[in-house]
Amino acid sequence: MKKSNYKKVALVLAVTSLSGGALFADEAGDTGTIAALKAQIEALSDKINILERKGEINEEAAAAVKKEAPVIVASDKGFSITSADKNYSLRLRGLLQVDTRTFLQDGGINNNDSFLIRRARTIFAGSVGKYFDFYLIPEFGGNSVSIQDAYGVLKFSDGFQLQAGKFKSPVGLEQLQSDSNAFFTERSLATNLAPNRDIGFQFQGSFLDKSISYAAGIFNGAPDNENVSNSDFDDEKEFACRVFFHPFKKTSIDELQGLGLGFGGSWGNKGDRSGTAGNGLTTGYRTDGQQRFFSYSNTTSDGDNYRWSPQGYYYYGSWGLLGEYIVSSTDVRGTTAPFRQANLENKAWQVAASYVLTGENASYEGVTPRKNFDLKAGTWGAFELVGRYGELEIDREAFERGFATTTGANSSGAQAWAGGLNWYLNKNVRFNLSYHETQFAQYSGSNPAPAQVSNGHEKVFLTRLQFNF
């Protein structure tokens, strides 16, 4: 029996009870009363059916509204609002890094101990349709506000995407690692030779469950370890590309699934004839403590420049290892008489290792604690030991042919080692403590006036409290 019929029977019984049982007293012959009661029952039944349908309509409308309502989420991945069909979204994240630098004054090194806001970023990301993503990241750290990243992605498929705007050039392995996930507070000497953020168009993608990934694009052309401005007035551009393989990711060999090998490089031409010094060249190479130990003098780029970098990492359980070698070659010209020309080739390499003491997995994307820091529960998060060694060598011709001075804060190379402890209180909060020591090579050619930096070692303690959400 239908639900509505049950209700009709209940009505009949109710009316019968009120009428003193007249519905069952056909022998009384009061047919008028019976007909009137039947009419009342039918009228009440119709009203109930109408009310039931209105209730069903309201429920259907509420379900439709709920189905079309946006989804609002707050989690360790930030804050987001997403349309019901998942084609439109806005995600809000942030990164704050508060650092200290404590130098041990020694042998000519003279830098001030300091507290600083190393990075302070608001990260806006989202989707504007099924195939289109965007990213906008202003930087409030340092001494001025700037646009760190600003780009859009057209996602035709996993294997073929177009990215356009300002973002990291696809060359250096450590440079491409997220600023919040790097082993150390500052990147290695080798990263001095890799371009940083550039403006351009890049095709990218991955295949076989990200076992193979690639990126290739045309850019304005960023100097070594530099971000470009948001405009460019040079006709010459730069091509950059990178391929990366996880050859054992899809195999059953657990010990090798975390092995990644790749190669990055760039090529461009800076045919500047304006005589403007420093065009296309780095403003300086820096130590772990961010002291500048080399810069060019009265020199501009003038011709081909290229970089190439074999690179790789290996992660297995709590162990991590990352290494790269990079060469940066540039044709240069002096901007004062006798306007010498040369090709300068600078080289650098680094190896970094990590071990997670609390047993969590190490990865290129950082460490996620099994148990977050909680005093009441007696849990402390995750702890990771890290170590690194690296070297950078300046082409001797930079000094021998007058493209760099042998006085002031110039050295012909540097060797640096570091060790530290990273404490992951949870996925979003991290504390770093590390010690860094850098030795400087002094140019030994004619007239080798000692440079300030070359007089001693840089010895510095670095700490960082990071909030990344």
The token pair that represents 49 in the structure block = 């059916």
pLDDT band at 103 (very low <50, low <70, confident <90, very high): very high
327, 193 Cβ separation under 8 angstroms: yes
pLDDT band at 12 (very low <50, low <70, confident <90, very high): low
Between residues 401 and 191, the one the model is more confident about: 191
The set of residues, in sequence order, having a beta carbon less than 8 Å from that of 59 and lying 6+ positions away, is none
> Using one digit for the tens of pLDDT, what is the confidence trace for 223-233?
999 988 776 66
Positive or negative torsion for Cα 77, 78, 82, 87: negative
Q: What would you report as the CA-atom Rg of the chain, rounded to the nearest whole angstrom?
A: 34
pLDDT score of 28: 47
Going from the C-alpha of 172 to that of each of 17, 76, 118, 175, 309, the distances in angstroms are: 89, 28, 21, 5, 7
Q: What percent of the chain has pLDDT over 70?
A: 84
| Calpha distance 303→341 (Å, rounded) | 10
Between residues 52 and 23, the one the model is more confident about: 52
Between residues 38 and 188, the one the model is more confident about: 188
Is the pTM higher than 0.85? The answer reads no
* DSSP secondary structure letter of residue 189: G
Confidence check: pLDDT of 51 > 50: yes
Between residues 185 and 31, the one the model is more confident about: 185
Task: Match domain 93-468 to its CATH number in 1.25.40.20, 1.10.10.10, 3.40.50.1370, 2.40.160.10.
Answer: 2.40.160.10
Of the CA atoms within 13 Å of residue 202, those in its CB half-sphere come to 29
Domain boundaries, the chain: 3-67, 93-468
Q: Give the residue from 70, 62, 102, 108 showing the smallest Cα distance to 89.
A: 70
* DSSP secondary structure letter of residue 297: S
pLDDT score of 278: 42
Between residues 41 and 330, the one the model is more confident about: 330
In this structure, the number of other CB atoms found within 10 A of the CB of residue 255 comes to 10
pLDDT band at 447 (very low <50, low <70, confident <90, very high): very low
The token pair that represents 17 in the structure block = 């009870």
Confidence check: pLDDT of 18 > 70: no
| Calpha distance 309→328 (Å, rounded) | 9
| Calpha distance 173→191 (Å, rounded) | 8
pLDDT score of 27: 47
Query: Which of 1-5, 292-296, 303-307, 427-431 is most confident?
Result: 427-431
> Using one digit for the tens of pLDDT, what is the confidence trace for 317-369?
999 999 999 999 999 998 888 888 999 999 999 999 999 999 999 999 999 99
| Calpha distance 389→375 (Å, rounded) | 36
Residue type, 184: F
Confidence check: pLDDT of 273 > 70: no
* Residue whose entry in the numeric block shows the structure tokens 């969590």: 360
Confidence check: pLDDT of 57 > 90: no
> Using one digit for the tens of pLDDT, what is the confidence trace for 173-220?
999 999 999 999 999 999 999 999 999 999 999 999 999 999 999 999
pLDDT score of 450: 42
The predicted model gives 382-396 an average pLDDT of 97
> Using one digit for the tens of pLDDT, what is the confidence trace for 244-270?
999 999 899 999 999 999 999 999 987
pLDDT score of 353: 98
pLDDT score of 348: 98
